[in-house]
Chain A
C-alpha cells in the first residue's frame, strides 16, 4: 500500500519544529509500524537526507522505548499495544498518517520523535522501591502467603512499561497513571506496607516537581495504556496520599 506521512521534525529541544510530508510506497500490511518507519529512513538515507530519529528497542511491546503519537493517539489507533506492535494492516492504502512525538513539558524533545523521559526515572528514585539490601538472608520467599487475587492485582499494576503514553494522551500531560501504578503495586503487597505513606507522598511530590499536569479524571490514560492499567490505581494513590497527608505531624 502507498501512504502519505506527516512527520514532526525538530532538531533538538530548543528548535521550533515543524511537520514534514513524505510518501512511502509498497508498504506491506504485515509490517509493523516501526518497520514502515525503517523503510522511510532507508529511503531518506539513500536520497542523502536526514533520517527521522525515533526511540525503539525491543519491538515486542515490553521495553517501553517506542513512543509515537499516531493520527492523534498515543501508540496509534489499536488498543492494548505499543507502536512497535501496531501493524500496517490497521491502515488503508492511500491513508495520510500524522506522526508526532509525546508532547509534555516534562518530556522535552531530544530530536524529531525521540523525547527525554528521565523525569519518570526521577519519580521512581523518589520512592518507587522497597528498601531492602541484597543479602541472600531475607525471609524465605514463601514465609508470607499473599492471597492470589491481591498478588494478581499487584502484578497488573506492575506491568507498567514506563512508555509515557498516559502522559502523552492526557490533555493535561499528567503522569498520574504511571505514578499510581507503582504506588499501587507496593500498596497491594505486604512487603510494601512499611513505606507505604512515605512512598506515595514522595513520589507525588517529585511528580509535581517535574512539571507534569494535574489529573482531571478524563480516563484517557487508561484507555490508551498499552498494558491496560486502570483507574483504580489512581484512586488508590489518591487515598494513600490523603492518608499520608492526614497522618503527617
Chain B
C-alpha cells in the first residue's frame, strides 16, 4: 500500500469511510452498554456502578487505546465525508432543474452529509457536556472517592436545571439523526468493503435496520427517563 495514488483513489476513501463507520458502530454498542447503567440501577447503587464504569473507561489502558482509535475514527470519518462531499459537488457543477431522488433512493442515503453534520455538532456539545468535564473539569468526588459523573449527568437532565428541557430535546433529535444515518450507513459499510452475498446481505441489511432503530432509541430513552424521574 506504499503507492499514495491508491490511497487517493475514490475507492480507498470509501474503505476508510466504511471501516471507520463500522468501528464507530462498535463503539456505540460499548458506549450504550455503559449508559444503560443509568437505567438499570438508581440511587447510591446506580451512582457507584456508573462512576466505577466512568473511572474504568478513562483509565484502563486497553480502553485508552480504543478511545484514541475512536477519536481518530470520528476525525477520519468526518474529514473523509467532507472531502467526498466536496468532490461529489464538483462532479456535477450544474444541477438538475427537476430531480426526483425519492423515485430511486432513500432520503437518508441521499442526506448522509447533513445527518453526519448534525451528529458532529451534537458530538462536540456532548463531549463538552460530559467528556470534557470528566477529563478536565472540576467534578466533586462521590462517597466512594470516585469522580461523580453520575451526579453531573443527573443534574444536566434535571428539570431543576433551566436548560435541561432543551438538552433533552436536543439529545433526542440527535439520536433521530443518528438513526437515519445508521439506517443507511450500517449496510452501506459492508457494501463498500465488497462484503456482499446473495444469502447474507439481506441479513446484514435487516441487522442494520434493527441496529439503527434500537441503538439510538435506547440512547434517547436515557435523557427522557432522567428528566421524568427527577420531576
Contacts and interface: CB of A to CB of B under 8 A. Distances in A.
A98 B98 contact: yes
Q: Say which size band chain A's interface belongs to.
A: 35 or more
B138 interface: no
A215 B9 CA distance: 12
A72 B99 contact: yes
Contacts, number: 140
Given A105-B90, A242-B11, A216 B84 contact: yes
A17 interface: yes
B105 interface: yes
A201 B6 CA distance: 9
Contacts of A216: 84, 88, 109, 112, 188
A31 interface: no
Contacts of B94: 17, 103
Contact of A217 (B10, B90, B91, B191): B191
Residue among A69, A235, A240 with the highest chain B CB neighbour number at 10 A: A235
A214 B14 contact: yes
B43 interface: no
B91 A212 contact: yes
Interface of A: 6, 8, 17, 19, 69, 71-73, 77, 98, 100, 103-106, 169, 171-174, 201, 204-205, 207-208, 211-220, 223-224, 231-232, 234-242, 245-246, 248
B9 A205 contact: yes
17 contacts: A19-B97, A105-B90, A105-B91, A172-B91, A214-B88, A216-B112, A217-B109, A218-B110, A219-B109, A224-B104, A231-B196, A232-B198, A235-B196, A238-B14, A239-B194, A240-B194, A241-B11
B103 interface: yes
A98 B104 contact: no
Contacts of B195: 235, 239
Q: Pick from B101, B104, B193 the residue with the most CB of A within 10 Å.
A: B104
A215 B14 contact: yes
**Residue of A19, A105, A204, A215 with most chain B CB atoms under a 10 A cut-off:** A215
Most buried by B among A105, A172, A173: A172
A69 B91 contact: no
Given A173-B91, A220-B101, A214 B96 contact: no
B194 A103 contact: no
A109 to B, nearest CB: 8
A119 to B, nearest CB: 11
Closest 8 CB pairs of A and B: A239-B194, A72-B100, A213-B91, A235-B196, A238-B194, A172-B88, A223-B104, A173-B91
Given A73-B100, A238-B194, A103 B15 contact: no
Interface residues of B, number: 42
A221 to B, nearest CB: 8
Interface string B93-125: 111111111011110011010000000000000
Contacts of B196: 231-232, 235-236
B9 A204 contact: yes
B184 interface: yes
Contact of A169 (B3, B84, B104, B192): B104
A98 B97 contact: yes
Contacts of A69: 96
Contact of B6 (A72, A207, A248): A248
B77 interface: no
